[in-house]
Structure 1
Amino acid sequence: MLQNGFVNNFQGTLSRLQSRLRERRRKRRKRRRNRAKSQRRKRHIARMRQACTIPFSPFRPFHSRWSVRGYKHLASRPTIISRPTIRRRKLVHGRGGFDVHHRRRKIDGQNHRQACSFTFRPRFRHRHYRMNPLKHKLCRMDHIIFWDIDNWSRFFEKLKFLLPPNTFVWGFHSTQWNQPTRCLAFHRLMSTGGFHKNYQSGRTKNAADFAMMLQIGKMDELLPKHVQFTIFSGDKGFQEALHQMKDSRRMIRIINPHVPGWQARLHNILNRTIP
């Protein structure tokens, strides 16, 4: 009886050791497969990146902004909108991999295999490189009022008439400014999309004035010449803008809100009753 019990205990211990050994071997094989799988995937991605590098011609440095050939593959990989469908294939002789199946599309009634189904979007496609989003809206306007909020913050509260529909107000400020709550002229302008508050300038002196002059110069190059500019500020430094832009063939006026009668002059300018 003792001998049979010893044999049974030994067989149980041996079976447990064998099961542990099999489990350890299985985990080791699984780790090897995962490592090989990750290496194959990295090599595949590296090959696809190398094959899909956007060409760049050094002899034509001034490409069109929206031309695909005008972009260069930088250190940071370009953003990929669509990827090829990757399907896991069966193990062959203990080895596995990924099979890349390119999408098919129908062109002129025939099926053509795409050489590469990657669609690129440039990485540096940011707001600093894009065209001004207000250009298409401002091209349809007749007057643009560049408003110095720091110099005269109660423009809409003091306004006694409604602005014409083709008038756009662009405000510049370096301090905190709250929108008027009960003002018919302001709410009507907001409902038609005729008001834009520029992002807050720095805290330095005349920061909003410099930002306004920068935008005036940009808009003078982008917009057609029939769009008239009106600078609404009491700073005398804007008189230099009239002197610098006298040859731009654009009508530019300055209205000082600290001088009595500015509302009548603004009304006449917006209704084109004076040259």
Structure 2
Amino acid sequence: MEVLINWINDNSDLITHYVLQGILAIVILLIGLKIAKFFSNLTEKSFAKRKIDKAVAGFISNIVYALVFAATVLMALSQVGIETTSFVAILGAAGLAVGLALQGSLSNFASGVLIIILRPFKSGDYIEAGGKAGSVERIEIFATELRTPDNKVIIMPNSAIMGGAIVNYSRQKTRRIDLVIGVSYDADLRQAKEVLKGVLDNESRLLKDPAYTVAVSELADSSVNFVVRPWVNTTDYWPTYFALVENIKIALDEANITIPYPQMDVHLHKD
């Protein structure tokens, strides 16, 4: 114990120096974190004022935060006497090993860059990708945030999105509703077709151009199937879809045209 006290007394100036340097490094780190957050928010707000896509703004702001934070760490290390030049070289050498170990994360980052460059979707678009569907909320450095119609949040790795097909339901202004309506073989097909057309003619949200299609598509096992294919504005797709299904059922019932259940005829033969 006495030896330790003597060593502290002999090196008090050096200890004080390193303690002060350490405290200053911590202060630099804390201030740097606030500055990184400030510039990240500033970037996002400036992009919003210029009406740049919110998803792109979020991606760029994350990169700004990461760069400022990295610079802050280097400044803090320099303050405690660590040679940053050699430290950067060590980081570069270690980066290769870390990169091999984190191939998935690097793939997500590269995919995020491709999303920003290629712009297959933007914030607010309803997409289907990687087996999931939802509205795009944000594009982060490594992942994209989707929100489902029932208000669940899905965090999808960017590589999962760019690694397969992307279906963007919001890019085009119009969409076609595809319905298959089956009627009984005993029904009058001309009458059934007129009933279906009447329902479509009474739906104000349908577009006149392109015109809708009502046609017999299949003589199925239990029914004669009609395809009903009207066009609507993308924003009206689901309300119109639900209304048509309901109104078609009501109209067919009123015309005494049945929609048959799946059925099978069984023939018995006696010897």
Q: TM-score of the superposition, structure 1-length normalised?
A: 0.29
Higher fraction of helix: 2
Q: TM-score of the superposition, structure 2-length normalised?
A: 0.29
Q: Which has the larger radius of gyration?
A: 1
